[in-house]
């Protein structure tokens, strides 16, 4: 085949690959993945993100700029404050979920963490979105959102009761009569729902986790409330 034809035919593909590589590079830092998980719950200010991740404002801003250039996050200015949200929310959440599945399947160290922390706290199979939708329709479960209140306010599963994890101990008695409980939080690697289910079961309350979290539920097109 003519060499010039081969080069010209590969030009558009190489341009696309270059942009895809920029997205991959933007994901190549744990703090940036954590930022994406946080803004998947709802829009957040730079100051709030810095506090939650434990970074300085300047470092947080640098990470956000990388995500902005890769078209994964977008800023909104309100006075002196800058807020960030996901771009193409469904696609970004799906991308992160796919990244997690590849990691779990191919990287032994991830599987070791899953075994040592997550499965040690809850070895039961989580409930799927489809099954939860059916159980919500017949009213056979109590849905418990254990994320912070401000995240719940941005959006949540329909009919969910919001009890942040740090308030759960004080509310356990009120949940006894509501059993069984399905708990959820930010996503598949968020520890909040694992800890909540462990607390509930220790008190004799029938409890199980949702298979992932609010962003994945929303990305799948399932109903939400705000």
Catalytic residue set: 185
For the CA atoms of the chain, what is the radius of gyration? 20
Give the C-alpha separation, 143 to 181, whole Å: 6
Start-to-end CA distance of the chain, whole Å, equals 58
> CA nearest 226: which of 216, 208, 214?
214
126-140 CB burial, b ≥16 within 10 A, e <16? bbebeebeeebeeee
Q: Which helix (H) or strand (E) holds 105?
A: helix 89-106
């Amino acid at each position: 085949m003519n060499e010039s034809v081969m080069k010209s035919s590969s030009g558009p593909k190489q341009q696309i690959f270059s942009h895809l590589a920029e997205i991959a590079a933007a994901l190549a830092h744990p703090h940036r993945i954590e930022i994406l998980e946080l803004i998947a719950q709802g829009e957040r200010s730079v100051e709030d993100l810095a506090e939650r991740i434990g970074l300085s404002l300047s470092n947080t801003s640098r990470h956000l700029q990388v995500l902005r250039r890769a078209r994964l996050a977008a800023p909104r200015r309100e006075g002196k404050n800058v807020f960030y949200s996901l771009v193409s929310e469904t696609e970004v959440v799906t991308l992160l979920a796919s990244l997690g599945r590849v990691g779990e399947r191919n990287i032994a160290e991830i599987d070791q963490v899953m075994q040592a922390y997550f499965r040690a706290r809850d070895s039961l199979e989580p409930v799927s979105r489809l099954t939860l939708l059916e159980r919500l329709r017949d009213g056979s479960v109590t849905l418990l959102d254990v994320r912070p209140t401000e995240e719940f306010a941005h959006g949540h599963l329909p009919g969910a009761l919001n009890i942040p994890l740090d308030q759960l101990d004080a509310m356990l008695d009120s949940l006894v009569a509501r059993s069984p409980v399905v708990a959820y939080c930010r996503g598949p690697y968020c520890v909040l729902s694992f800890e909540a289910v462990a607390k509930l079961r220790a008190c004799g309350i029938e409890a199980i986790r949702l298979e992932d979290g609010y962003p994945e539920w929303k990305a799948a097109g399932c109903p939400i409330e705000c």
